[in-house]
């Protein structure tokens, strides 16, 4: 090998080391064969190995023909230089491919800002406290940062776009964002089977209708997700659900006003429904008393019983619901005696008091008005991911649980909402 070719070989090895050292294309044994290189980087037409950095192919030819004229050696040298450049381009492409997966995983949290305040932070029309208040970003609510301006972030959250003081939000913190988000599984099949374990052989816990949503708690098993149903966690196939992340968004001034008005109207309706249900219950009790013996003791007992039930109050609803404990669970059913599902149970119990409710757990979460768990009273609807029950007091509820247990009484666990229908 003449000196000029030897010099080119050394440069070629050094260039190869620089081009590939930052990528993940090195084989387990520290070498990359000619076949592997030409397969992965066809544009390069490159023949080199890692570890020993041994030049092959064109360079071997150059060595064998080292006695050839200077013109031939120069042609081979130029080819080496060209291949080295092309190898760099191919390596860069591979590096982009290898990092694209991680970039996709991180993209959900890119430029996400989470409010960390006692209650809420105002969203203003200008990056100044003199700006008009456009809405509120409540604690642990999320927004997308559009740009920075001094000590302010321009954000978009829900239907609100404006400025918040940077000190009241935490930006680009995937751990916090993951903590405050809720993973949701939307049912995409007519009837979703929720199983006790991640297997098609496992017993069915519940049946969920298409369009309903479930809260995801476990994504560690390939092809399955653990979802919350009532107080329990069951498993569903990912084939039949769409999984997404949900963040609490900002509320505009107009949305807040509409919400407060709707809650006020719901309270008025609940009071009217309670009054009507109480009148209906009293009339029914009077009719029953007329059919019974005129014995004074019996009459006083019945009267006392009616009074203690609370007439048309939530307590009366809870007492009425309890008499069906032990009856069967039937998906899609609404019979309190021969079989009902969870939403059918709540619907049928309230129907007895003259209150019409939809036959779907998700829709029932929008009925009446919301109260906190600590404010819950007997008769309130306890709402869960894909499940509902009727609160009976003392931290317990009555509900159509699942096909294996039917209508039961159990603890309320952690409901995602509490809706008051009467009172």
Residue of 11, 359, 383, 399 marked catalytic: 399
Residue by residue, DSSP assigns 86-98 as HHHHHHHHHHHHH
E strand segments, 292-376: 334-335, 339-340, 369-371
Helices (H), 174-252: 174-180
Residues in the chain: 423
What is the DSSP pairing of strand 133-138 with strand 120-124?
antiparallel
**Rg (the chain; Cα; Å):** 35
Q: Assign 405 to helix, strand or coil.
A: coil
Alpha-carbon gap, residue 323 to 348, rounded angstroms: 13
135's enclosing H/E stretch is strand 133-138
Alpha-carbon gap, residue 187 to 181, rounded angstroms: 19
CB 109 within 8 A of CB 172: yes
Alpha-carbon gap, residue 142 to 181, rounded angstroms: 9
Of the candidates 272, 229, 211, the one whose C-alpha atom is nearest the C-alpha of residue 389 is 229
Q: Assign 408 to helix, strand or coil.
A: strand
Alpha-carbon gap, residue 157 to 249, rounded angstroms: 5
Half-sphere exposure of 275 (CA within 13 A, CB side): 6
CB 12 within 8 A of CB 20: no
Residue of 11, 342, 359, 383 marked catalytic: 342
Of the candidates 100, 149, 153, the one whose C-alpha atom is nearest the C-alpha of residue 122 is 153
Tokens of 371: 């109260």
Of the candidates 96, 343, 308, the one whose C-alpha atom is nearest the C-alpha of residue 209 is 343
11: annotated active-site residue:
no
342: annotated active-site residue:
yes
399: annotated active-site residue:
yes
Active site residues: 342, 387, 399
């Amino acid at each position: 090998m003449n000196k000029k070719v030897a010099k080119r070989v050394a440069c070629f090895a050094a260039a190869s080391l620089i081009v590939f050292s930052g990528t993940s294309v090195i084989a387990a044994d520290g070498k990359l064969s000619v076949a592997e290189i030409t397969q992965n980087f066809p544009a390069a037409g490159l023949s080199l190995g890692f570890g020993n950095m041994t030049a092959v192919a064109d360079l071997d030819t150059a060595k064998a023909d080292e006695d050839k004229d200077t013109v031939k050696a120069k042609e081979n040298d130029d080819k080496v230089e060209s291949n080295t450049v092309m190898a760099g381009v191919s390596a860069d492409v591979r590096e982009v491919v290898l990092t694209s997966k991680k970039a996709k995983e991180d993209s959900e949290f890119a430029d996400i800002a989470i409010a960390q305040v006692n209650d809420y932070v105002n969203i203003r029309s200008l990056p100044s406290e003199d700006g008009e208040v456009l809405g509120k970003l409540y604690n642990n609510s999320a927004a997308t940062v559009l740009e920075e301006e001094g000590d302010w972030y321009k954000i978009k959250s829900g239907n609100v776009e404006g400025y918040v003081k940077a000190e009241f939000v935490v930006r680009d913190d995937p751990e916090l964002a993951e903590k405050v988000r809720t993973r949701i599984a939307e049912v995409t099949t007519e009837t979703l089977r929720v199983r006790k374990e991640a297997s098609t052989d496992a017993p069915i816990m519940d049946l969920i209708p298409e369009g309903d949503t479930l809260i995801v708690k476990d994504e560690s098993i390939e092809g399955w997700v653990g979802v919350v149903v009532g107080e329990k966690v069951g498993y569903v196939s990912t084939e039949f659900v769409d999984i997404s992340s949900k963040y609490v968004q900002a509320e505009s001034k107009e949305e807040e006003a509409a919400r407060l008005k709707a809650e006020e109207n719901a309270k008025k309706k609940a009071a009217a429904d309670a009054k009507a249900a109480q009148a209906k219950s009293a009339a029914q009790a009077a009719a029953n008393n007329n059919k019974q013996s005129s014995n004074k003791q019996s009459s006083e007992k019945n009267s006392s019983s009616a009074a203690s039930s609370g007439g048309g109050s939530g307590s009366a609803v809870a007492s009425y619901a309890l008499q069906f404990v032990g009856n069967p669970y039937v998906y899609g059913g609404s019979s309190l005696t021969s079989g009902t599902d969870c939403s059918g149970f709540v619907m049928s119990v309230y129907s007895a008091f003259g209150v019409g409710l939809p036959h779907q757990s998700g829709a029932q979460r929008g009925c009446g008005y919301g109260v906190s768990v600590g404010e819950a009273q007997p008769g309130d609807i306890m709402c869960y991911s894909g499940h509902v029950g009727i609160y009976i007091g003392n931290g317990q509820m009555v509900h159509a649980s699942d096909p294996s247990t039917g209508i039961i009484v159990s603890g309320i666990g952690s409901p995602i909402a509490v809706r008051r229908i009467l009172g």
